[in-house]
Structure 1
Amino acid sequence: MFSLKNKVAVITGGGSGIGKAIALLFAQQGATIHLVELNTEAADQVIAEANSSGGKGQVHAADVSNQQAVSNVFNQIGHIDILVNNAGIAHVGNVENTTEADFERVYNVNVKGAYNCLFAAIPLMKAQGGGVILNIASIASHVGITDRFAYSMSKGAIYAMSLSVARDYIDHHIRCNSISPARVHTPFVDGFISRNYPGKEAEIFEKLSKSQPIGRMAEPSEIAALALYLCSDEAGFITGCDYPIDGGFIKLNN
């Protein structure tokens, strides 16, 4: 079950965290992985790790917010069975203290970046008779999170775009779903905490961990396991759905 043998998978932001976990698992399950990543050094290490376990893949240096760069990469790859829109950045602030530059930076990576990849991938998938798209949204798509105005905006857009693409391309045999993680323990989270809460790292990490009723953050491998299922043939009847993977955050925080 859950084999991706002979599948070609494109993962944006595949150099670390959730993207890295998805890339390694997909390679382990037989997919040829293509990482679209600005940090090519980190992505090269992921490919080397995949290769050492019998996988195969390639790194493509591209900024997802640049449509021409994304189109060039996708057209070079040519055949894409699976697209995982994972690349994203965060921002702390409410609407009053989110500057225009902050808002545009989050929008350009999280929203426009996903759009650019959809814009480039869907014609290829249509031409080959189908494909699977998985967008990484967030619990911030569903509930109000304090001081996450721009980030919540971007992840709400991911959720809505997933539904739109699923509806528009169902007759082309393109499935599109999203995942909404709660906090996931990645290097990104550690860096985020250290930048925004200097001197309070341990306190904030504990607070964020306990905000999930299950009492901890998710591991990237747990997100990757759900991604594998949704991108596999076993999930062929699933499209237009969002899957919270949140330790009970949305439904049990009462």
Structure 2
Amino acid sequence: MTSAGNNEESSSRGTNAVRSVANRTVVVTGAASPRGIGRATAIMLAARGWNVGILDIDAAGGEALASELTTTYNVKTCAVAADVANESEVRAAIDALEAALPPLAGLANIAGVSSPVPYLELTSDEWHRVINVNLNGVHYVTRRVAESMVRHRYGRIVSISSTSAQRGGGTYSKTPYSVAKAGVIGLTRALARELGPYNITVNAVAPGPIDTDIMGGPLSPDRRDALAADLLTNRIGQPEDIASAIAYLLSDDSTYITGQTLNADGGLYMH
């Protein structure tokens, strides 16, 4: 039987191994999209010294970003291709990242798909497509990364939800998207309880309207103005607005925050 003292010693060794950001790796899913939150997040974290593991279905885009980050910020990077909705692909991809990079200490679950289909026109295939990527995918990636975090008793997990989960839609995507993003909030809270004893925090970020392709492509001036009319900031968000929220929740400045959903939405939803 392991004594309490040995447990504390093991915890200290594991935490110290990733105490310096230079010795940590953050896994970012969905980072390859040129106009996405994932790319902005990977860049911001690399600029702050994180080593970055990129998991994206777009192999070429992921590899190009990894090369850019290494060249620009002199950090270790590795990109692997996987569909987050496929658990076996996810586990193999995380295995590869872990073998290539320093300890996995951070996770940003950003990969997602939109779905503007009205409920009464919704097919079973569309329902499962959205749930599988936006909720099951978060679970598959988190489950595998959490195994590694528990071993060295340190971790920061941040997943992207949405104000659509809190408001029942109202921006672009509709029912299955809102349901999946609500599930992310529930998963976040449950994992915060279970993983807290291992010095792992788990939080979510709920963006409002952000100028990315998940909003159906580049926004026209009229659509941009219509979306901004509901906001208190008089502008819609940019990917960097969400990246900065994620970076904060992954940092050691947020060690007393867990199980929370941080709304970065220009004041769209107040609760």
Q: Same fold (TM over 0.5)?
A: yes
Deviations 1:143-196 (A, max 9, x none): 122461111011000111000100111111111000000011124435276xxx
Q: Give identity over the alignment, percent.
A: 26
| Residue pair 2:78, 2:97 contacting (<8 A) in 1 also | no
* Aligned residues of 2:188 and 2:204 also touching (Cα < 8 A): yes
Distance 1:48 1:149 in 2: 38
Distance 1:119 1:7 in 2: 18
1:122-201 maps to which residues of 2 (within 5 A)? 122-146=146-170, 148-189=174-215, 191=217, 201=220
User: Which residue is 2:75 aligned to?
Assistant: 55
**What SS does the aligned partner of 1:251 have?**
coil
**Could you state the TM-score of these two structures normalised by the residue count of structure 1?**
0.90
Q: How far apart are the structure 2 equivalents of 1:205 and 1:40? A: 31
Q: In structure 1, what is the equivalent of residue 105 of structure 2?
A: 81
Letter in 2 for 1:89: V
Q: Which residue of 2 aligns with 1:227?
A: 246
Gaps of 5+ in 1: 194-200
Aligned position for 1:15: 32
Unpaired runs of at least 5, structure 2? 1-19
Task: Give, in whole Å, the separation in 1 of the partners of 2:77 and 2:213.
Answer: 23
* Partner Cα separation in structure 2 for residue 113 and residue 192 of structure 1: 25
Which residue pairs with 2:49 in the alignment?
30
Deviations 1:86-136 (A, max 9, x none): 100010133212111110000111111001012211111111112110001
| TM-score normalized with structure 2 length | 0.84
Q: Name 1:215's counterpart in structure 2.
A: 234
Mark the CA change 1:216 to 1:190 in structure 2 (over 3 Å): closer, same or farther: farther
Q: Which residue of 2 aligns with 1:197?
A: none
Q: Residues of 1 paired with 2:260 and 2:231: CA distance?
A: 22
Separation of aligned partners in 1, 2:71 and 2:93: 25
**Take 1:46 and 1:190, find their aligned partners in 2: how far apart are those partners?**
23
Equivalent pair of 1:5/1:29 in contact (CA under 8 Å): no
Residue 205 (structure 1) shift: 3.1
Deviates more, 1:6-15 or 1:140-149: 140-149
Give, in whole Å, the separation in 1 of the partners of 2:154 and 2:75: 24
In the alignment, does 2:271 pair up with 1:245? no
Question: 2:167 is paired with a residue of what secondary structure?
Answer: coil
Structure 1 residue runs of 4 or more that deviate by more than 4 Å after TM superposition: none
